[in-house]
Structure 1
Amino acid sequence: MPLSSVRVLDLSRLLPGPYCTMILADFGAEVIKIEEPYIGDYARAYLPKIDEDSAFFHTLNRNKKSVCLDLKSVEGRDYFLQLVKQSDVVVESFRPGVMRRLGIDYETLKEINPQLIYCAITGYGQTGPYVEKPGHDVNYISYAGVLNMMGERNGKPVIPAVQIADIGGGAMPATIGILLALMAREKTGKGQMVDISMLDNVISWMPTLLPDYLATNNEPERGNIVLSGKLACYEVYQTKDKKWLSVGALEMKFWETFCKTIGREDFIVHLNAPTMIQDKMKIEIQKIIAQKTQDEWMTIFQTMDSCVAPVYSFEEMVNDPQVKARDMIKSGELGTTKHVGIPIKLSETPGEIRKQAPKLGEHTDEILMEMGIKKTRRK
């Protein structure tokens, strides 16, 4: 596997860090999850549970090993430093300053292992006035200006159902940063620090909005953005059976097909019309879509070259033939636990779900003995 020679020490908890190391583990890295004795990753306690750990934890921590170390103790710190000597990557998601107080910050670790890649995932990064500031996903997308753009015109901002900052701003760029640093090490022989700010990366997620503001100083209006509520061709409409259709007919050829299919060819010339006309078209289109069920509309649009899709529930999504064909919901391979599949498809060295998430401290004795470190009692 592409990362089979890479050993990762993962001190992170909950979502951003574990998602990052899940990707690395899926592609062969040996990910050793360093957990606090007796407590471990807080995500273990979430509901619903599969055995004594949560479904959430099982998904994010598959293919990993668990070692319990008390990093506040002299013994635990010493064991960790010995592990660092034999590892390639350290991932942590503490607030800046915590690792320094524990005596295991980047400056300390690079003296022990100059080839080490050290990745810190934080809300605001390692520099700037917000270094000590606490936060969650909703706070980071708020500072980034993203949340202010989400929701309907004249309404309040709407919190997204998925964690944009945690995944898109934290986990994914952390994974990319680690891989870039590993490639650089191949050339230089030196490790480096990867400083991931979730705020920074969410700001970078706005190439369709932010450059326009930077060029004109004109603030976009919530609900009046091309890809977020302005256009009738890019909207969600309710069907007769109280389900929904998403329409993404941005290009003229798709819009023309859509308008002809619903019997409103007069709308074709108004693809990019002013907001007032767009609002009127939305009302008329909604009246038409409400006359048939979601299945009836999908049967009609199935043979059309148009950007129309059903808005799925999870039950509908997991049973969709495209999702099944791409093996995105895996079940029955590791006991009774179902897993989200591996979205990155490599033709020659694919990722693989090899084993379930570890029990707390399951591999403590094994790893410490394997690396020639004094055996400790499993906590």
Structure 2
Amino acid sequence: MQPLRGVKVVDLSTLLPGPLCTLLLAEAGADVIKIERPAGDEMRGYEPKSGPDSVNFGLLNRGKKSVALDLKNATDREAALALIDEADIVVEQFRPGVMSRLGLGYDEVAARNPRLVYCSITGYGQTGPKSSTAAHDLNYLAETGMLALSADSNGAPVLPPALIADIAGGTYPAIMNILLALRQRDQTGRGCHLDISMADNLFTFMYWALGNGWTGNGWPTPGGELVTGGTARYRVYRTLDGQYLAAAPLEDKFWQNFTRVIGAPELASTDGLDSAVQQRVAALIATQSAETWIERFAGVDACTVRVVGLEHAVSDPHFAQRGLFDHKVRLSGGDVISALPVPVAEVFRDKEKVKDAPLLVSGSPNFNI
């Protein structure tokens, strides 16, 4: 039996952080009803599409049910309240105060359903001077100091290829706290309101940088620290054929193996912090192709791999053997593709491998939560 079987979730969120949160709940067995605006979640319109809806939407909402309700309409609002009355969890992503103005805030719905776990995911939290500021992932990275720790060859911050704040700062803390709240409810009989701030949760990832700054060892700089390119032991190196190696032989035992393979065993006694050492290693790596280096590093514990594209990564035999892409989602256009890999252990997931992305049902829901 799945651990969240019988848990009822009303999802009032859009785009990424909330929908991914409720996807994880659904993958662990929860029954999720997604309430969308009459025109549907904005992500339904994103490209590429399969049928009328976005592929992205299908990946993030596999296995849920969906209904279109206008929360400004009294009849539709009552339909939403009826669903919330029977729910264990609500996930919402509006700016602070919006749900209360609609009569769907925590105080209002908890008075009717005191066991409800009510999770609010926002950029800056429910309180504070920035709580109502419009922003996106990149803004949160910029204002928490994370973006400044990355830099290109010209010293400009590098645009991250992943939505770090949305997922690592929003989705994952939301899941963690929802599960803690359910456990607490088992003990107290009451739910609670969870205030999840994507910006707040980014600071956790910079523990080392905060430690440096708070102890007077200097605030970190891009390209100057252990994990920002300040050592030859943690760098990306260009090879002769224009490809790249990601080398992370931080510990001495790995660094000794690394320097031996590249033909510079005399560097084994260095810490890699000297710019001359970094230049020497870069020059050596640039003399051979990526394929040659991978062959030389094969079977050697040196924490050095080739930088590959996503299309290569998804066909890697290692991930295939682990069944990472075995679950499927049937999109609104009928295409069946691999479902989004999620960090829910296989032992907790449904044995049914193929599940549908939800079609948008208009009007009062004709299904029970």
- 2:98 corresponds in structure 1 to 98
Task: Give TM-score, length-normalised by structure 2.
Answer: 0.94
- 1:42 corresponds in structure 2 to 42
Point out the more displaced range, 263-272 or 287-296: 287-296
Instruction: Report SS of the residue matched to 2:10.
Output: strand
CA shift at 1:12, angstroms? 0.4
CA shift at 1:51, angstroms? 1.5
Displacement over 6 Å in runs of 4+? none
CA shift at 1:351, angstroms? 5.3
Task: Give TM-score, length-normalised by structure 1.
Answer: 0.91
- 1:376 corresponds in structure 2 to none
* Identity across the alignment (%): 40
Q: Contact between 1:12 and 1:92, CA under 8 Å: does it hold in 2? A: yes
- 1:155 to 2:155 alignment: yes
Q: Which digits, 9 at most, give the CA deviation of each residue in 1:39-61, with x for residues without a partner?
A: 11101111111121111111111
**Which letter maps to 2:322?**
R
Point out the more displaced range, 201-210 or 356-365: 356-365
- 1:293 corresponds in structure 2 to 289
- 1:76 corresponds in structure 2 to 76
Instruction: Report SS of the residue matched to 2:141.
Output: helix
- Cα separation, 1, equivalents of 2:271 and 2:51: 54
Q: Contact between 2:7 and 2:31, CA under 8 Å: does it hold in 1? A: yes
Point out the more displaced range, 293-302 or 125-134: 293-302
CA shift at 1:316, angstroms? 0.8
Q: Contact between 1:34 and 1:67, CA under 8 Å: does it hold in 2? A: yes
Unaligned runs of 5+ in 2: none
Tell me the C-alpha RMSD between the 2 structures: 1.8
- Cα separation, 2, equivalents of 1:6 and 1:332: 23
Of 311, 317, 327, which aligns to 2:307?
311
- Cα separation, 1, equivalents of 2:293 and 2:322: 25
- Cα separation, 2, equivalents of 1:23 and 1:316: 26
Distance 1:364 1:304, change over 3 A: farther
CA shift at 1:95, angstroms? 0.5
- Cα separation, 1, equivalents of 2:27 and 2:92: 19
- Cα separation, 2, equivalents of 1:28 and 1:69: 25
Distance 1:55 1:211, change over 3 A: same
- Cα separation, 1, equivalents of 2:277 and 2:144: 32
- Cα separation, 2, equivalents of 1:135 and 1:351: 36
Q: Contact between 1:231 and 1:272, CA under 8 Å: does it hold in 2? A: yes
Instruction: Report SS of the residue matched to 1:282.
Output: helix
Q: Which digits, 9 at most, give the CA deviation of each residue in 1:234-274, with x for residues without a partner?
A: 0011122211110000000000000001110111111254x
Unaligned runs of 5+ in 1: 372-379
CA shift at 1:366, angstroms? 3.2
Q: Contact between 1:140 and 1:165, CA under 8 Å: does it hold in 2? A: yes
**Which letter maps to 1:16?**
P
Point out the more displaced range, 134-143 or 113-122: 134-143
**Which letter maps to 1:25?**
A
